[in-house]
Amino acid sequence: MNSMPPPKSWATIFLDLVFPPRCLLCGAYPGWENPEHLCRDCRQGINYIRPPLCACCGKMMAAGEPGRSHRCQDCLVHPPPFSVARSCIRYDQTASLLLHRLKYHGDTAVLPGLRHIIEQAAIAGVCDPDIIVPVPLYRKRLKARGLNQAAHLARLFYPGRDSDIRFDLLHRIRDTPPQTVLSGAARRRNLRSAFAVKDLTLVKGKTVCVVDDVFTTGTTVSECSRALRLAGAEEVYVLTLAMVVSTV
C-alpha cells in the first residue's frame, strides 16, 4: 500500500523556496525538501496504533502478548460483519486537525501529511482486496462539503489502484444525522439500513475493503460491511486513518 510521492516540478520547487511551506500542525518551517510538510517534532509526536490489538476490530489491548491473535470482549460477544479492521493512528488532536482541514474545509494540502502517516503505519492483517469502497456521503452532504474525505484516503491507502476504487458501488440511501452527536446505541439506530449496494454482481464472491476516516464505535463501517456481505461479498476488511482509543 506504500508508494513514493511524485517528484516535484521546478515551478513547485521555486515556489517552496520563495514561500516556504509551514508545518501542517504547528506552523514551523520544516524545510523545503520536506515532502509531507510535517516538521520533525510533529512527526515524532504522531501516536501510531501498535500491538497488541484485537485480531478483529483492531482496538488496542491492555493485556496479552504483542502479536498474539485473540479477540476483544466486544468482538467475542457481538462479532462484527467485517473480518478485520485496522487503523493507522490514535484519534487525538493531531488526527483531528488534519482530518478536519480535509473534511470540513476541503484543504487537500494535508494529503502529503496523511500519506506519510499511512506509509509509516504498521498495518497488518488486511489482505489485498478485489474492490476498495470509500464510505459514501449522502448526496446533499457531499454537495455541501465538495469532497468525500474517505475517497481521498482510499487513494492514499491504495495508490495506483484507481480502477479498483468504486465510488458508485455503495450508496447512503438515507440522510442521517452526524454520528458525532450521538451515543453508541443511537449511532446503531441512526445507521441501520442506511447503506445499499447498487450492483450485486460486482460484489458477489469478492474481497472488499471499506475505507473511512475515523473508527469510533465501528457503527458506520459495520453497517457498510453488513450491506456488502448481504450483497454476497466473500470477505470485508476495514481501513481507517484514525481510531478513538480506549484499551480493552
Q: How far apart are CA 248 and CA 241, in angstroms?
A: 20
User: Alpha helices of the chain — where are they, by DSSP H?
Assistant: 10-18, 40-44, 73-77, 93-105, 111-120, 139-145, 149-157, 184-191, 200-203, 219-230
Q: How far apart are CA 186 and CA 131, in angstroms?
A: 30
Selected residue with higher pLDDT from 25 and 248: 25
Q: How far apart are CA 19 and CA 4, in angstroms?
A: 24
Confidence label for 13 from pLDDT (cuts 50, 70 and 90) = very low
For residues 170 and 228, the answer to whether their CB atoms sit within 8 Å is yes
Q: How far apart are CA 136 and CA 124, in angstroms?
A: 25
**What are the DSSP calls for 233-247, one per residue?**
-SEEEEEEEEE----
> Does residue 182 surpass a pLDDT of 80?
no
> Does residue 10 surpass a pLDDT of 60?
no
Q: Count CB atoms within 10 A of the CB of residue 8.
A: 14
Name all domains of the chain by residue range, CATH numbers in brackets. Answer: 49-175+186-243 (3.40.50)
Cβ-based burial of 4 (10 A; exposed 0-12, middle 13-18, buried ≥19): exposed
46, three cell numbers:
504522531
- Prior bond to 112 cis, omega within 30? no
In the 8-state DSSP scheme, what is residue 66? T
Q: How far apart are CA 148 and CA 152, in angstroms?
A: 7
Q: How far is CA 138 from the centre of its chain?
A: 18
- How does pLDDT run across 118-130, given as a tens digit for each residue? 999 988 889 899 9
CA 207, 212, 218, 221 dihedral sign is negative
Q: How far is CA 86 from the centre of its chain?
A: 9
- How does pLDDT run across 64-119, given as a tens digit for each residue? 555 455 899 999 999 999 999 999 999 999 999 999 999 999 999 999 999 999 99
Q: What is the pLDDT of residue 218?
A: 93
User: Alpha helices of 158-207 — where are they, by DSSP H?
Assistant: 184-191, 200-203
Cβ-based burial of 124 (10 A; exposed 0-12, middle 13-18, buried ≥19): exposed
- How does pLDDT run across 185-210, given as a tens digit for each residue? 665 566 677 899 999 999 999 999 99
